C-alpha cells in the first residue's frame, strides 16, 4: 500500500510523516463533519480574529493584489505560441 505525504510532519505523528490513503480519507471526513457542526463558531472566531488583526488582513490583501497584478501582466506579456500549420493536401500525413 502506497503512502502519501500530507503537509509537514507533526510532532505526534510517526517520523516519516506519511498517511495511508484510508487515513487521509478518514481525516478529510472528520474535518468536514467538524466544520459543518461548528460552522457558526468558526465564522465568529475568524471574524473576531480579522477585527483584532486588521493590519495583517490589510497587508495580506495588498500583497495578494500585487501578486495577482504581476501574474496578469506576465500573462499579457508572454508571447502567444504560433499556431501549428495544417498539413497541405499535397504532402502525405507522417506515419507515426
20 and 2 assigned to the same domain:
yes
24 and 50 assigned to the same domain:
no
* Per-residue pLDDT reduced to its tens digit, 8-46: 655 555 445 678 889 889 999 999 999 999 999 999 999
93 is a domain residue: no
Please tell me the least confidently modeled range out of 6-20, 32-46, 49-63, 77-91: 6-20
pTM greater than 0.75: no
Cα–Cα distance for residue pair 86/96, rounded to 1 Å: 16
68 and 58 assigned to the same domain:
yes
44 and 13 assigned to the same domain:
no
Question: Which structural domain, as residue segments, surrounds residue 4?
Answer: 1-37
3 and 23 assigned to the same domain:
yes
The domain tally of the chain equals: 2
3 and 17 assigned to the same domain:
yes
Amino acid at each position: 500500500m502506497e503512502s502519501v505525504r500530507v503537509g509537514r510532519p507533526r510532532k505526534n505523528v510517526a517520523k516519516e510523516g506519511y498517511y495511508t490513503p484510508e487515513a487521509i480519507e478518514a481525516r478529510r471526513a472528520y474535518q468536514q463533519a467538524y466544520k459543518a457542526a461548528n460552522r457558526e463558531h468558526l465564522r465568529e472566531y475568524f471574524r473576531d480574529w480579522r477585527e483584532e488583526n486588521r493590519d495583517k488582513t490589510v497587508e495580506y490583501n495588498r500583497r495578494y493584489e500585487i501578486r495577482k497584478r504581476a501574474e496578469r501582466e506576465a500573462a499579457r506579456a508572454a508571447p502567444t505560441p504560433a499556431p501549428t500549420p495544417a498539413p497541405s493536401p499535397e504532402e502525405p500525413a507522417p506515419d507515426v
